[in-house]
A and B are shown apart, each in its own frame.
Chain A
Amino acid sequence: MNPFGAYKKVVSARSTLKEVLKKSQDGGIVSTAFIYGLENNLLDGVVVADNAGEFQAVPKVATTPEEVLEAAGTKYTVCPNISVLKSAVREYGCEKIGVVGTPCQVRAIRKLMKYPVGFRHVPDKIALVIGIFCMENFPYNGLKLIVEEHCGVKMEDVVKMDIGKGKFWVYTRWGETKTVKLKETHPYEQIACHVCTDYTAELADISTGSVGSPDGWSTVFIRTAKGEEIFNKMVEDGYLEVKPIEEVKPGLGLVEKLALQKKEKNAKEIEHRKELGLPVPY
């Protein structure tokens, strides 16, 4: 089983922009790529998941680096990014759009590019698709329950959340760190995630996530010519520092392990659904 899908190269990278690193989840790759694109006229609008307060996520079309920065950081809840894709073209008049999404959203973007029945004059304006590694997602109420019931922290006091080392981490504005074992969060996962076999956003131009790289760095898969071009330019212009993935810990092996874990577990779930006569997505 191919764990990662097709890609040209994979590296470990980190933003050089201080304002990004202050707000980003890990290496700040998504924010930096979008800021770089907007500043250098490669993009004129980007679809991001904005923080709507208390870690609720709301899709937004950002047209300035400031707006990108405001939206930086991972929200572990559902955010229908594609719902604003058409407004980026119609209402914001964007012609070179960057979109970030989870693997399932990236698949939706590729579908609408190939079968654009309801997307008049949209596909040719999608300039860059960035995907983020994703094991599963939580509906907002599920996320809130994990934070408030399991971690004992009020949502309004949370400044950052993270998933890593088998735990769900919550950082409060009082400087406290609370954790809950990832196992305990499973009941609150979005069930629809259990039929997805894509961990590394295999159809994106560039995919990125924290897994495989040291703290503060991100693992980056460059998959398409378009992705390669913009990534190389970012490195040349000093927006990103890059290390070979072979030289960092824990390295690609961990990404492979998790990607295969998701594929195998969810392939079983798909088979199970078929046995029950339930529809499966692909």
Chain B
Amino acid sequence: MVKVAHVQLCSCCGCLVSLADTYEKLLDVLNSIELVYCQTLADAREIPECDIALVEGSVCLDDHHSLEVAEEVRKKAKIVVALGACAATGGVTRYCKGNQMSKPVHSSFSPLTEVIKVDLAIPGCPPSPEAIVSVITAALNGDMEYLQPFAEFAELGSEACGCDVISKVVNKSLCMGCGTCASACPTRAIEMLDGRPNILKELCIKCGACSVQCPRIRFPGLIEKIE
């Protein structure tokens, strides 16, 4: 049995809800893993040694517990997965807008990717249940080819955002105007103008969904196998 832990740092639980939103697939996943730590679903106080740790949320730099938990996860887990935008890029904890001040008085958050070495990162706010299941399943099966884009995203860390789509795709004459980025954006920060994405920076939380989803930044060969 592969031991999996779900660890929560500074987050809204959205990623956990997304994990639970896999419905019957969650049961399949739970049947093939041993959930050794998950404050919401399992009764365990200490993070035990585990194979995979799914970590959601960013690290509050004003809270030493937060930093200690992050370091502990790295020590205890063989594979650390930054689950969702806050852990991967900082997401809404860094880039919240529209008077959503972080409460109570925390002032500075870092994504997990800036604090410890992370093996895989799943973008999105929250990431889709399908993506979470696919990553867990691929990790269980050792399907490194599938996981490669998530490993690359983990290295990219907090640099991902809507600006990537502009700087890496539109500015490099690669955008053909498919609209995938606009559709993938969870905050509707991307509108298509004359067949090109326009990023509304007031709304972008730099979750990375648009750039990771863009077929012109990365097109893993395995996608070509359709049947």
- A1 interface residue per 8 A CB criterion: no
Residues A81 and B128 in contact in the complex (CB < 8 Å), given A107-B215, A117-B184, A192-B173:
no
Note all chain B residues with C-beta closer than 8 A to A13. none
Any chain B CB within 8 A of the CB of A158? Answer: no
Closest to A140 in B: B194
Per-residue CB contact flags for chain A residues 69-97 toward chain B (1 = under 8 Å, else 0) read 00000000111111111110000000000
B223 touches A83 (CB 8 A): no
Contact between chains at A81 and B178 (CB < 8 Å): yes
B210 at the interface (CB under 8 A from A): yes
B212 interfacial by beta-carbon distance below 8 Å = yes
Q: Are the C-beta atoms of B176 and A121 separated by less than 8 Å?
A: no
Which chain A residues (97-116) contact chain B, with CB distance < 8 Å? Answer: 101-102, 104-105, 107-108, 110-112, 114-116
Docked Cα-Cα span, A195 to B215, in Å, equals 12
Point out the residue from B123, B149, B172, B213 that lies within 8 Å of A278, measured CB to CB: B172
Q: Is B185 an interface residue (CB 8 A)?
A: yes
Enumerate B105-160 residues with CB–CB distance to A below 8 Å: 122-124, 126-131, 134, 149
Contact with B along A136-150 (1 / 0, CB 8 A): 010111000000000
Within 8 A of B (CB), among A121-146: 121-124, 137, 139-141
Residues in A whose Cβ lies below 8 Å from that of B216: 192, 281
Cβ contacts under 8 Å, A191 to chain B? 173
Q: A281 contacts B123, CB within 8 Å?
A: no
- Whether B186 contacts A281 by the Cβ 8 Å rule is no
Q: What is the CB-to-nearest-CB distance from A221 to chain B, in angstroms, rounded to a whole number?
A: 13
Q: Within the complex, what minimum Cβ distance (angstroms) separates A262 from chain B? A: 14
Chain A residue total in the interface (Cβ 8 A): 53
Instruction: Kindly identify, within residues 217 to 261 of chain A, every residue whose CB is under 8 Å from any CB belonging to chain B.
Output: 223-225
- Which of A260-282 touch B at CB < 8 Å? 278-282
Interface: B183 (CB within 8 A): yes
Which residue on A lies nearest to B224, using beta carbons? A203
Interface 1/0 per residue, A186-227 and B, CB below 8 Å: 000011110110000011000000000000000000011100
0/1 string, A16-47, CB within 8 A of B gives 1:
00000000000000000000000000000000
B129 touches A120 (CB 8 A): yes
Most buried by A among B124, B177, B216: B177
Interface centre among A83, A120, A282 (most CB of B within 10 A): A83
Query: Assuming A117-B127, A191-B173, is B227 touching A108 (CB within 8 A)?
Result: no
The minimal Cβ–Cβ distance linking A275 to chain B, given in whole angstroms, is 15
Task: Write the nearest CB–CB distance from B227 to chain A, whole angstroms.
Answer: 5
Judge whether A77 and B195 touch: CB under 8 Å.
Answer: yes
Q: What per-residue 1/0 map shows which CB atoms of B159-194 lie under 8 Å from chain A? A: 000000000100011111111101111100000101
Chain B contacts to A: CB under 8 angstroms: 18, 21, 122-124, 126-131, 134, 149, 168, 172-180, 182-186, 192, 194-195, 209-210, 212-213, 215-217, 219-224, 226-227
A-B contact list, 26 entries, CB within 8 Å: A78-B194, A79-B177, A80-B179, A85-B179, A102-B176, A107-B215, A107-B223, A108-B178, A108-B180, A110-B223, A111-B215, A111-B220, A112-B184, A114-B220, A115-B134, A117-B209, A118-B184, A124-B130, A139-B195, A190-B177, A191-B173, A192-B174, A193-B176, A223-B227, A224-B227, A278-B172
Give A residues with C-beta under 8 Å from B: 6, 59, 77-87, 101-102, 104-105, 107-108, 110-112, 114-124, 137, 139-141, 190-193, 195-196, 202-203, 223-225, 278-282
